[in-house]
Amino acid sequence: MAIDLECLPALESDYRVSDEQAAAFRRDGHILLRGVASPQEVAAYEPVISAAVARFRRETRALADRDTYGKAFLQVTNLWEADPAVRRFTLSRRFASIAARLMGVRGVRLYHDQALFKEPGGGHTPWHQDQFYWPLDTPNTITLWMPLVDIEPSMGPMQFASGSHADGYLEPIAISDRSEDYFERQVKQRGFRLVDGVAMKAGDATFHYGWTLHRAPGNNTGRMREVMTVIYFADGTKLLTPDNDNRQADLERWHPGQQPGELAASKLNPLLYKE
């Protein structure tokens, strides 16, 4: 069924981020902000995004037949390219302005979006650093993680290792059983403070730096944990020479026609906010 895009909320109004919140984010590497989208706004976008996930998901195996990564969530990336209604959500000025304010930069570009739906009975998401995957020469990368439904701790909200972003690139390990074991040891050895996930309303959001260690428990309920994420990076960032296959794949996919050393500003990286 066709959706009247003009009936979807624009998501352009400002959301106030205080100096204290910005400072806490830069210190800890993560923050939870309440009411980033209103109940009415989320109610408008949830059916749009969940329908797009159902339409574009490729995973069809039973949970029992998947590896740890496959059990963690249904992942559908760059929905904004394929669905004009999701595009309005992903390109939101409000969300982008929050990302810029938290990082203390003047402008941000889109890296990509991805829906992360943790199925009922879905497994844990192992410890990892997002920026292992990204060929971006900056520490100023950030992910918005927003539930589209109310979630409780038993559904698998985010868990963070506070301050871990300050140690930068810890080890080139993809999300896996190995990353869970290795980074669990690092969390203990380096003395990072653990912040467990809490109950969140639809429209609340966490934000975290690309180098912040994070994980999520499994979904021990009978309900789908519907989450939409949007990743941003500071305008003016240059591309790195990939040092692993994942970064090479990302360079080719998210920065078509571009080379290391160039400004990361392909047609897939629109400028979403500028002071």
Cβ(210)–Cβ(43) under 8 Å? no
User: Do the beta carbons of residue 106 and residue 97 sit within 8 Å?
Assistant: no
Backbone phi and psi for residue 232, each to the nearest 5 degrees, phi listed first: -125, 160
Q: Would you state the pLDDT for residue 197? A: 94
Residue 7, pLDDT score: 81
- pLDDT tens digits in sequence order for the chain, 275 residues long: 456 677 899 999 999 999 999 999 999 999 999 999 999 999 999 999 999 999 999 989 999 999 999 998 999 999 999 999 999 999 999 999 999 999 999 999 999 999 999 999 999 999 999 999 999 999 999 999 999 999 999 999 999 999 999 999 999 999 999 999 999 999 999 999 999 999 999 999 999 999 999 999 999 999 999 999 999 999 999 999 999 999 999 999 999 999 999 999 999 999 999 99
Q: What is the pLDDT of residue 6?
A: 72
Domain spans of the chain?
A: 11-274
Q: Is domain 11-274 in CATH 2.60.120.620, yes or no?
A: yes
Q: What is the DSSP string of 165-210?
A: GGG-------SSHHHHHHHHHHHHHHTPEEE----B-BTBEEEEET
pTM of the model: 0.96
* Separation CA 173–CA 260 (nearest Å): 22
Rounded to an integer, what distance in angstroms lies between the CA atom of residue 29 and that of residue 32?
11
- In this predicted model, what pLDDT tens digit does every residue of 89-103 receive, in sequence order? 999 999 999 999 999
Q: What is the reported pLDDT for 35?
A: 98
- Please give the pLDDT value at position 3: 67
